[in-house]
Structure 1
Amino acid sequence: MLRIIYNTFMISILFYIVIGVIYPSSIYLIGNVLFEKKANGSIVYLNSKPIGSKLIGQNFTSDKYFWGRPSAAGEKGYDALSSGASNYAFYNEKLLKRINDQVIFIKQKNLLPDSQEIPSNLIMASASGLDPHITVDSAKLQIKRIALARNISEEKVNDLIKKNTEKPYLTFMGQELVNVLQLNVSLDTL
Structure 2
Amino acid sequence: MKTHIGPAIRLTLVMLVLLVVIYPLVVAGIARLAPGGGKGETVTVNGGTASRKIVGYKLIGQKFTEDRYFNSRPSAVDYNAAGSAGSNKGPSNPDYLKTVQARIDTFLVHNPGVNKADIPAELVTASGSGLDPDLSPIGAKIQVARIAKVRGIPAERLTQLVDQHTEGPLLGIFGPANVNVLALNVALDQLK
TM interval, short-chain normalised: 0.7 to 0.9
Letter aligned with residue 56 of structure 1? I
Between 1:166-175 and 1:88-97, the stretch displaced more is 166-175
Give the letter aligned to residue 106 of structure 1.
Answer: F
Q: Does 1:71 pair with 2:71?
A: no
**Deviation string, structure 1 residues 47-93 (Cα, Å, up to 9, x no partner):** 312211111111011112111110102xxx11122211111122222
Check if 1:140 corresponds to 2:141.
yes
Is 1:56 the counterpart of 2:55? The answer is no
Using structure 1 for the length normalisation, give the TM-score. Answer: 0.87
Partners of 1:170 and 1:12 lie apart in 2 by 41
CA distance in 2, matches of 1:51, 1:178: 17
Deviation of residue 118 (structure 1)? 0.6
Percent identity over the alignment is 38
Give the count of matched residue pairs.
186
Moved more, 10-19 or 151-160: 10-19
TM-score (norm 2): 0.86
Asked if 1:162 is matched to 2:163, the reply is yes
Report the secondary structure of 1:57's partner residue.
Answer: coil
Question: 1:3: Cα distance to partner?
Answer: 8.0
Q: Report the alpha carbon displacement of residue 19 of structure 1 after superposing the two structures with TM.
A: 2.0
Q: How far apart are 1:4 and its partner, in Å?
A: 6.6
SS of 1:44's equivalent? Answer: strand
Distance 1:38 1:96, change over 3 A: farther
**Per-residue deviation, residues 151-175 of structure 1 (Å, max 9, x unmatched):** 2111111111000001123323332
> Which runs of 5 or more structure 2 residues have no equivalent in the other structure?
47-51
* Secondary structure, aligned partner of 2:118: coil
Distance 2:36 2:118 in 1: 37
The whole-number CA distance in structure 1 between the counterparts of 2:107 and 2:118 is 10
Displacement of 1:41 in angstroms is 1.0
- The Cα of 1:6 is off from its aligned counterpart by 5.9
Gaps of 5+ in 1: none
Q: Map 1:98-177 onto structure 2 (within 5 A).
A: 98-114=99-115, 116-177=117-178
Deviation for aligned residue 1:36: 3.9
CA-based RMSD of the aligned residues comes to 2.1
Measured in 2, the distance between the counterparts of 1:70 and 1:38 equals 29
Q: How far apart are 1:9 and its partner, in Å?
A: 4.6
Q: How does 1:26-105 map to 2 (within 5 A)?
A: 26-32=26-32, 34-37=33-36, 39-47=38-46, 48-73=52-77, 77-105=78-106
What is the CA–CA distance in structure 1 between the aligned matches of 2:37 and 2:4, rounded to whole Å?
45
Aligned equivalents of 2:10 and 2:104: distance in 1? 64
